[in-house]
Amino acid sequence: MLHRFFTDEQGATAVEYALVASLVTLVALGGFQFVGTSVTNMFNSNESQILQAMD
């Protein structure tokens, strides 16, 4: 019974897909955070330039 449990690889594919999906999710979240920070900095820079031009 233990031999059959350790040699059964039926669920291995699902675990591998779950690991790949979680890695893709982490990379995507990191990318979104980087882009969000860049966009925020861009708008803050534009705001300060507009305020300076209005003075």
pLDDT tens by residue, 1-43: 777 777 777 767 888 889 999 999 999 999 999 999 999 999 9
**Bigger pLDDT: 53 vs 6:** 53
pTM, 2 dp: 0.58
Phi (first) and psi of residue 18, to 5 degrees: -65, -40
Question: Tokens at residue 27, please?
Answer: 């990379």
